[in-house]
Every structure is written in structure tokens, then in C-alpha cells.
Amino acid sequence: MIDTGRYLIGVAGASGFGSKSTADEVTENCDLRSTTAIITGATSGIGAETARVLAKRGARLVFPARNVKAAEEAKGRIVSEFPEAEIVVMELDLSSISSVRSFVAGFESLHLPLNLLINNAGRLAHEHAISEDGIEMTFATNYLGHFLLTNLLLKKMIQTAEETGVQGRIVNVTSGIHGWFSGDLIEYLRQISQPKCQFDATRAYALSKLANVLHTKELSSRLQKIGANVTVNCVHPGVVKTRLTRDREGLLTDLVFFLTSKLLKTVPQAAATTCYVATNPRLINVSGKYFTDCNETTPSGLGSNSSEATKLWAASEILVTQHSKTGFDPLS
């Protein structure tokens, strides 16, 4: 009850910021003119506001997008506000392993540095669907595509950090809903990656967001072991009505958001934690952590489980290399 009161009032935490802080406010003293950032899901909602604020602070941005037209429109809105902004639009379908590999090859051909990777894109699908690689679509888009994207970009990020002396940062956007998942991650993914299954869209979304948390934990451990000057943290942006719910729009969705309106954040408030974790100098050498309302907190018990993180990483490596379109089987 006390925590809910603090959230509603917007009481600042140890960082000096809280639930009512905005992305503009948490980056007020940032100079990002020497920063190159990739932001997935930058065409609308939290991603678009994150991109707008980072461009305002001087960052060069790369927008990977499935809908290139929407990305160009998002770029146009930012450039109209900040004419000096440098933004590159590139095609990327995160649900497709081949598309992720093509995007990275294209990015590498630009010979740009990479200081910041924000894995923001996400979807909450109502209907059950399987990706071209045989993986349940929500998991493929929200987690597996980002897992591969991050792994393929790590060499560039480590190299940039070495050459500039500036620590690289990876930010995974997850959700507090990750705590709703319980059970065997791999077995449930196996079940929902079958053409016919009993599909619970909310549980599938929770699984994908738990995977983001576990990915953060395991990747942080691996980066520290090799001495890379790159950190990775994950953030829960808060509850906000964005295009994430586009597959569930209607009277029921509107009613739920109306009843919980006092708990909702504005989009600038929802983008604040991402921008804080991506830019604040207080977070140098902070890695493997979970943030909400611009302050470090604790993920679920399952999200804190190192053995589960290692197990998921091993399965993920198999999934992105097996090139199978016949179905999910990470242990084959």
C-alpha cells in the first residue's frame, strides 16, 4: 500500500527520480553528440519518445523497423523538431532470424560506431501465430530476435568502447508482467510453438518478458567474464496505453485502461526509465540490474534465477542457429 502511494504521488527514489519523472527531465544534463544508438520499436509509443529525447540530446540514431514507411514518418517528426538530428532507417523484422542477420550485415556496412543498444520493440498478440523459424510469434519478436541482434552487435559495441574509452550500454525493455509467469520456460515455449495448442496470450507475453530479464542477467555475467566495457540492464517502463495493445483494442481494453487510469503513466513518463538507464552517469559499471521508475529494484524470483538464465541462453543459441521451420526443439 505504501509503495502504491509513493507511485501515485511520484515520490523520488535514490536516483532523484520517480514514477512522474519524464524522459526529458532525466536527460536534462546529457550531451549525447558523440553517441550512436540503435533503438528497436522507435516508430511509436515509448520507443518514439525515447528516440525523440535522445535525438534532442544530440545522439545519432538508427531505426530498425519492419514497417519502413512508419519509421521514415517517425524520423520526419523528429527532424522537424530537431533539424540537426541524424537518423538512419533500416529494415528489420525481429521475428525473423534471417532478417536480423541481414540488418546487422547492413549496419556493419555503414562503418558506424555503436555506443548504445535499446531493445525496446515488443508485441502482445491476441491470436496464436508461429514465426517463419517455427517459434511462437510473441517470443520470437520480443525476445529471440533481440537475443540474436544483441549477440551479433556485441563485437561492434565492445570495439567502440575500446576505441573511445566510453562504456557501452545495452537496455532491455521488459515488463513487471514477467513476474506473472511460473513453470518450466522451455517446456511452455515448446507447447506454444506447436501449430495447434492451448494458447494464453498473456502468459506467452509474460514468458517473453521474463526471457528479457533472464537475458540481461546472463549477458551481464558473460560480459564481465571477458572484461568487456559494456553493461546491460533491463527496465520496466510502467503501465501505459501504447500500440503494444493494438491487437486487443476495443471496448474491454478501453474499460480496463479507464478503470486503472490513475496508475497509468504518460508516454514521456514511461520512456523515462529507459532514458535514465541508457544515459545517466551514475550507472557506470552498473550491470545485470532491473529498474522501474528510474530506480533499481528486484525482479521476480524466477527472473533472479541464474540457472534458469543459463538454461535459456543455451536453448536460445540453438534456436538461432538451427534454421528449422518445422517447429521448436531446442534440445534436438
Contact call for residues 172 and 151 (beta carbons, < 8 A): no
**Gap between the Cα atoms of 257 and 86, Å rounded:** 36
Please give the DSSP secondary-structure letter assigned to residue 123. -
- Which of 7, 143, 188, 205 is catalytic? The answer is 205
**Gap between the Cα atoms of 134 and 130, Å rounded:** 6
**Gap between the Cα atoms of 305 and 225, Å rounded:** 18
**Gap between the Cα atoms of 55 and 81, Å rounded:** 10
**Gap between the Cα atoms of 23 and 275, Å rounded:** 6
Q: Is residue 168 classed as helix, strand or coil in its secondary structure?
A: strand
**Gap between the Cα atoms of 132 and 215, Å rounded:** 22
Q: Is residue 173 classed as helix, strand or coil in its secondary structure?
A: strand
205 an active-site residue?
yes
DSSP-based helix, strand, coil % in the chain, nearest 5 = 50, 10, 40
Neighbours of 79 (CB within 10 A): 14
Q: If you write DSSP's letter for every residue of 58-98 in order, what string do you get? A: T-EEEEEESSHHHHHHHHHHHHHH-TT--EEEEE--TT-HH
**Gap between the Cα atoms of 311 and 205, Å rounded:** 19
C-alpha cell at 245: 495493445
Catalytic residue positions?
A: 205
